[in-house]
Structure 1
């Protein structure tokens, strides 16, 4: 086969470097330049920030780019796009935020050199640096939170104060389980990392994988003019605050508070943690606005300051699920439902809400909210009208496979678009008046970068034997990606790519791993088995208690369907004798199940931080609740393992099938993984070694669960391709 000549290590690395170098837009801000109004329209400035992997140095670059957009007076939906400014590299920015007017930009920056590791809050005007506050020297709190879970940097409406979250100072002798937000002026308070001698060995809980340095968050207000920082008092001692924003009058703040009693559970990627919406005034008076038995996130205030929308879900059970959107009326002090859970969506209709709202999601009329969400194998753009509760899709499925809203300001929407065969770029459009949302006209920013792949969407129905009696009639999806540059009738090896979670999904969006594998001549099948998001709440619930069986059968059914269909164009043939499998986390769990349950089918396997033995994982994972829920057992904080529960976990684990595994296995483990202990992979490694089965283990001592470091990702990809090449005998 012609493509095999390109599969030398240097060629693979070069290709990966090229494809992983495509930048991804991560945020956007729009300001209307009324003072620059032109004869033929109104001028807008769009500032977008991008992330780009640079594999030579193993770094992830962060840079900004600026456009001028002109709205045509005669036809308001027309946008004249001026050439963008040159990109400017952003150094050391942990957080940044533009004021409402766009005249000021706040930056939390961490420095290197003489002040290495110290943090500063900078305020920039259109012409120069206006203010700098040395946060570390003030010693009011520990490190500022830059994560998406807790972090925020919010301007007050008067543009004189900034609200953010930081690690609180811990009092001497304070036990972590009773930790709260101590008074900033306590004489016994010490900065984070400076324990007293007797407390040096004290154990302090944190919020788990990806949040290992986050323990006791506090709300902080910086006064720009005075150069001072105040730690707000009054946050209830049993919750950890985050995702904070100002009320319209600047007299109080709203925030989400997560219960940390009796102990903290892992929070990242888990929307099922008990939390509530709170209001705190500057005098320290705090009120819970929502119910306190649910999970709450993404509070967003309307432009007129009257309405607050937020997402709400269940506590425990699936760690990611279909959420509701609630509306809090500040004048009436009442809560109403805007978007409900969708249990069983029809194929082309709205399938529910599964992801966080962008920081700015309100239309200027304070009547509509724009958001992105999964719909089967796609991510689409929707708008909900709070007066009618009607949800309308406004993305164009003919243009892109995936749409993610970055911001909407002055009714100008900025979205991140991509496809499995097209690298990311931005698109803009004005949101029409209420009732006319079906007439959105999108303009892309930048040229299309097509990468020569064919994408086939598979809708798969389980066989009668594979049906779930409690949730019958569910289907699921898969994306088959193949090259359009191979000779007709070429027999192509198939990589079965399985997502983790399990309650996440593969979107029809740019995926570097898939794109490079296809360029190298593989076909890639990305499976959204039952339990994936985007297919309704019933699909998510159907997987509880059925891991290791329902999801395994779904993946195998998808593979058999793809092999039977070949591709609609019949231009190439998938080789049934050259099928390999890969996945991470729960995807690794499924990959190891597949090679154990179908030992003669898969010729090689590559897995990242896989779950191997749910019973031994129980005491080492930061999300112990999910270890019960996934096997169909109820969880409570005082839960103790029983022989029956451990037996159930063991029976549903890949380790039970280890003696049947024949496929060569490549394991990639992160030494600092808090979600799935690396000892899980070591357990399989030892089992296979004892039987003389081919196995190779890559150990990344400084990496966590996602193996997200740039150099690690490049190393893993190269080793996966070489592993498949070796064991498919493609030399």
Structure 2
């Protein structure tokens, strides 16, 4: 079983707990705490373990000893697969790929054979089988055999692209750069949504699309991201619009090979919150912005969203103690202060807003109000409205929004884009 805190961030660290059916005694197998794994492997003798997140434990997860389960969980910018002894509580990293590179997820377990799925930003997914070996009733987790089930496929010209993981912030694996080698092409700063999610090195068709047409992409797992420790997740509470924005900016500035490029912004939901914040707080840095169903006004969001507790919690208050905003002047001030609308008068970059008319998470009225504020201040802006909900994940909306985002970026990069790809 898994357990998390009843209050606080919507997605944080999980505990793995076990129940003895005879005694009904419950014990913790994996706690919230970070730890160092001392499992010798071909890759690393010591490996940080940041806890369990976004768990989807396979229906069949047990090895033949009936006490060791196998699961996968985000760690830094990757998904790692672990074998966990529920009796000794030892955690073993399975050295299927280099730590903090690529993503490996276990799908099924049967007779000590694991069916897994592996992908990276530069390589579409592949199925393969892993055989576990035991001796003297103990598994050797450093000795595994890997056999392909499906063939490996590469993107066109994949050798011309590079995926680089960086320990850019707080000595943690917090950045992923993906783009052409030895190129000064335009760079898309792409913060993830949530905010308690993470950017991962798995294959995404939308990212591949932008890189194939001549862009590079930078992902930043800012404070609040999952996969880097419970404290890292919770450090953002009460600081949205501050810590997360600064982390994205500081990560970008940490490498002149990134910051000296032509820069554009793309993000959805809380990622849209961040890109609209960045364009307002650092108005001269970015050539264009594309925001998908962005959170632009937390006060309006509180009264309209299907997750009102999210708004109050992220602002640093206890939702159960808030009856209404009418008698909560301090909360209203804090919500306004956290919102991107606060700096809309500073925005210079042309801004494209991609909105879903069926969105119940971030209603389109937030994006429309932000659009009118941009126009009021003389900023070039456009709205595209789709018959879709929050993720814009239908094929029609997904394809149309990506193509229009690319055209928007190219239009406002104009000659700079043409020079970079020639």
| TM-score, normalisation: structure 2 | 0.90
Alignment match of 1:549 (pick from 242, 254, 276): 242
Q: CA deviation at 1:333?
A: 1.5
* Aligned partner (choices 175, 181, 191) of residue 478 of structure 1: 175
Which structure's residues are more often helix, by fraction? 2
Against the structure 1 CA distance between its residues 589 and 578, is the aligned structure 2 distance closer, same or farther, given a 3 Å change threshold?
A: same
Q: Which residue of 2 aligns with 1:348?
A: 47
Alpha-carbon contact 1:344-1:538 (below 8 Å) kept: no
What are the Cα deviations for residues 623-677 of structure 1, in whole angstroms up to 9, with x where unaligned?
A: 1111111011111076222111011001011000000000111111111111111
Q: Which region of structure 1 is more displaced relative to structure 2, 424-433 or 336-345? A: 336-345
> What is the Cα deviation at residue 684 of structure 1?
0.5
Moved more, 426-435 or 533-542: 426-435
Q: Does 1:587 align with 2:278?
A: no
**Distance change in 2, residues 1:539/1:575 (3 Å):** closer
Q: Would the aligned equivalents of 2:185 and 2:261 in 1 still touch at CA under 8 Å? A: no
Paired position in structure 2 for 1:58: none
State whether structure 2 residue 63 is matched by structure 1 residue 377: no
Residue 681 of structure 1, aligned match among 338, 352, 367: 367
Within 2, Cα distance between the matches of 1:520 and 1:397? 29
Q: CA deviation at 1:517?
A: 1.3
Shift of 1:561: 2.0
Contact 2:132 2:139 in 1 (8 A): no
Please list every run of at least 4 consecutive aligned residues from structure 1 whose deviation after the TM superposition is greater than 6 angstroms: 344-347
Deviations 1:538-577 (A, max 9, x none): 1001000111011001101111123x2x3xxxxxxx5725
Counterparts of 1:299-314 in structure 2, within 5 Å, are 310-314=1-5
CA contact (8 A) 1:344 1:537 kept: no
**Are 1:535 and 2:228 matched, yes or no?**
yes
Q: CA–CA distance in 1 between the matches of 2:393 and 2:253?
A: 32
Structure 2 stretches lacking a partner, 5+ long: 38-45
Question: Mapping of 1:76-95 within 5 angstroms?
Answer: none
8 A contact 1:316–1:626 mirrored in 2: no
Cα gap change, 1:345/1:599 in structure 2, threshold over 3 Å: closer, same or farther?
farther
Structure with greater proportional strand content: 1
**8 Å Cα contact 2:188/2:215 also seen in 1:** yes
**Which residue is 1:334 aligned to?**
25
RMSD: 1.8
Partner of 2:393: 708
- Tell me if 1:606 matches 2:290: yes
Separation in 1, partners of 2:172, 2:143: 31
Match of 1:317 in 2: 8
How far apart, CA to CA, are the structure 1 residues paired with 2:189 and 2:389?
A: 24
Cα deviation digits, residues 139-185 of structure 1 (max 9, x gap)? xxxxxxxxxxxxxxxxxxxxxxxxxxxxxxxxxxxxxxxxxxxxxxx
Shift of 1:374: 1.1
Equivalence map 1:235-634=2 (5 Å): 310-343=1-34, 348-356=47-55, 357-398=57-98, 401-433=102-134, 434-451=138-155, 452=158, 453-461=161-169, 475=172, 477-484=174-181, 488=182, 490-562=183-255, 564=256, 566=257, 576=260, 578-634=262-318
Mark the CA change 1:438 to 1:411 in structure 2 (over 3 Å): closer, same or farther.
same
* CA–CA distance in structure 1, aligned partners of residues 296 and 126 of structure 2: 38
Q: Number of paired residues?
A: 397
Secondary structure, aligned partner of 1:663: coil
Match of 2:319 in 1: 635
Q: State the Cα deviation string for residues 365-388 of structure 1 (Å, max 9, x = none).
A: 211110001111110000100111
> Do the aligned partners of 1:475 and 1:530 also contact (CA within 8 Å) in 2?
no
Mapped to 2, the partners of 1:312 and 1:432 lie a distance apart of 31
Distance in 1 between residues matched to 2:253 and 2:35, nearest whole Å = 25
Corresponding residue of 1:720 = 405
Q: Distance in 2 between matches of 1:337 and 1:596?
A: 45
Aligned equivalents of 1:326, 1:660: Cα separation in 2: 50
Q: CA shift at 1:724, angstroms?
A: 0.3
The alignment's TM-score, normalised by the length of structure 1, stands at 0.53
Aligned counterpart, 2:40: none
Using the alignment, how far apart are the partners of 2:332 and 2:144 within structure 1?
54
Question: What secondary structure, in the 3-state scheme, does the structure 1 residue paired with 2:29 have?
Answer: strand
- Within 2, Cα distance between the matches of 1:478 and 1:547? 19
Higher relative contact order (CA 8 A, sep 6+): 2
- Structure 1 position 343, deviation (Å): 4.4
Question: Does the CA-based 8 Å contact 1:476-1:530 persist in structure 2?
Answer: no
Distance in 2, matches of 1:676 and 1:345, equals 39
